[in-house]
Amino acid sequence: MATSTRSTPGPFVNEPITDYRQPENVRGMRQAIEKVRTQLGREYDLIIGGETVRTTDKIISVNPANPSEVIGIHQKAGLEHVEPAMQAALAAFEKWQYASVTERTGVLFRTAETLRRHKFEFNAWLVLEVGKNYDEAEADTAEAIDFLELYARQALVLDRAEPIVQLPGERSFLRYIALGVGAVISPWNFPNAIALGMAGASLVCGNTVVLKPSSDSPTIAAKFFEALVEAGMPAGVVNFCPGSGATFGNGLVAHPKTRYIAFTGSRDVGLDIHSRAAQPQKGQIWIKRTVLEMGGKDTIVVDADANLDAAVQGVAAAAFGFQGQKCSACSRVVVHQDIYDEFLEKLKTTTEKLAIGLPEDNVRMGPVINQGAMQSILDYIEIGKREGRLITGGERIPGDGYFIQPTVIADLDPAARLSQEEVFGPVLAVVKAKDFDDALGIANNTEYGLTGSLYSTSQDKIERAKREFHVGNLYINRKCTGAVVGANPFGGFNMSGTDSKAGGTDYLYLFSQAKSIGQKL
């Protein structure tokens, strides 16, 4: 295994964001997309314990902007692959748990370097497989780099942990040790950052992983898996297993040797995982840990004293960035009655100016992820038309891709379905508030609690929001998307998950356990 050259790294610094207003960067992306296109349609194997595995059933990944374009063909892990994957991870764990912190962090640092060197290409895969424009793809890859760099540094911090008291005549130690084999079940909407973040946190703590990426983005996962191998990750430390959630995923969650499950996805699937993990299996000797991020119904409150133009721009960016397919997306906006009509007029104008087209052309809005998602979103739009007043949008855009107009539906009751249920698409619910108390009450009236924002110039109202707006990530006078690693540790309350705070300095505690040792002198 290669040795790290970064055992004493400098302070953490966020990965610089490439500016795609610069022509040379646009050229770089276009060239990367053309290069990636020469690799489309390739078949990828399962990788279990470093060995390739082929299956009869396949996962066909396609371009959501052009579903006839096959991105990759993947093996589909089933229930029969759970035991081989688990045994491979268990075998690797016997050595990896004792690997030095230099070895473990070295894998993360070198993987980050690979992503940095080939950023345009990683971005290009995101453009073609999940429909991100250049800026959204850039944010995903840069966040993946940030996760790797931050978690490696935090592993070094944990390795130096000491008890705060040393007793007379005794030497006390504190060791953060690995948990065991983890199931990492990652989503398609941030298929680079979230998957690498959960897997990277796992392995840098000495755990081994069975990785089940989303069936909508397995090719991106295959590419960063290749980067991990290139970085010197031993065979079996991460096992690459795209597969069915109902068979492979559930079997993995239920396995008695699974020590923890790190999951990002929907509320219903997260709750099902939590329930299955809570049931002890024959031979299981621990309580399985779950690290769950399960979505939201995120609100921006616009008070009467807000900078209206800034609020409109922030709401539009948070509602329609990446077609609203973010758990942090602004799914509803609560607007003070005194500015309600003016806000709606400005928002309608802004929304109707949003360009829609092919992500490879770096258009502001692209497709939603797949046929099923498109139909679900269109169904919610019809519900919204019955519950409220359609301001703009509301239709599928004709063509082969999964394109939907950015949609604004106003005059909704706070208890309406469109005000309460996660749509995960370019649909914004608008609710009128009588005053600031009413607005805060509406903002807190869902079962979720992930992100939220307040636009106001009143310091008193800002302070109240800091105390009373019950979300894991609150923003003042800015959009509710775009959490930055290190600055905005990310994770929500209530049905939004276990408040895991990805990108924060305490995240690695979730993937390790503390062992206290006292030695008599």
What residues act catalytically? 293, 327
- 3-class secondary structure for 279-290? CCCCCCCCCCEE
DSSP state of 10: -
Coil, helix or strand for 73?
A: strand
For 353, phi then psi, to 5°, come to: -90, -10
DSSP state of 230: H
Coil, helix or strand for 327?
A: coil
Would you state the structure tokens that stand for residue 195, as one six-digit string? 């998957």
Helix, strand, coil percentages, rounded to 5, for the chain: 40, 20, 35
Question: Which one, of 304, 264, 172, 192, lies nearest residue 490 by Cα?
Answer: 264
Q: Which amino acid, 147? A: F
Q: Does residue 174 contact residue 516 with C-beta atoms inside 8 Å?
A: yes
Residue that is written with structure tokens 């998602």 in the block: 373
Beta strand segments in 136-288, E: 170-178, 181-185, 208-212, 238-240, 258-264
Residue 488: is it exposed, middle or buried by C-beta count within 10 angstroms (0-12/13-18/19+)? middle
Q: Does residue 368 contact residue 322 with C-beta atoms inside 8 Å?
A: no
User: Can you say how many angstroms the Cα of residue 460 is from the centroid of all Cα atoms in its chain?
Assistant: 33
* Residue 51 CB coordination number (10 Å): 13
The helix (run of H) or strand (run of E) holding residue 145 is helix 134-159
Residue that is written with structure tokens 């991106």 in the block: 220
Q: In what order do the strands lie in the sheet with 473-476?
A: 389-392, 407-410, 427-433, 330-336, 298-302, 451-455, 473-476
CA distance 350 to 303: 19
Q: Does residue 485 contact residue 468 with C-beta atoms inside 8 Å?
A: no
Coil, helix or strand for 177?
A: strand
- 3-class secondary structure for 375-437? HHHHHHHHHHHHHCEEEECCCECCCCCCCECCEEEECCCCCCHHHHCCCCCCEEEEEEECCHH
Q: Which residues contact 505 (CB under 8 A, 6 or more apart)?
A: 150, 154, 157, 489
Q: Does residue 263 contact residue 270 with C-beta atoms inside 8 Å?
A: yes
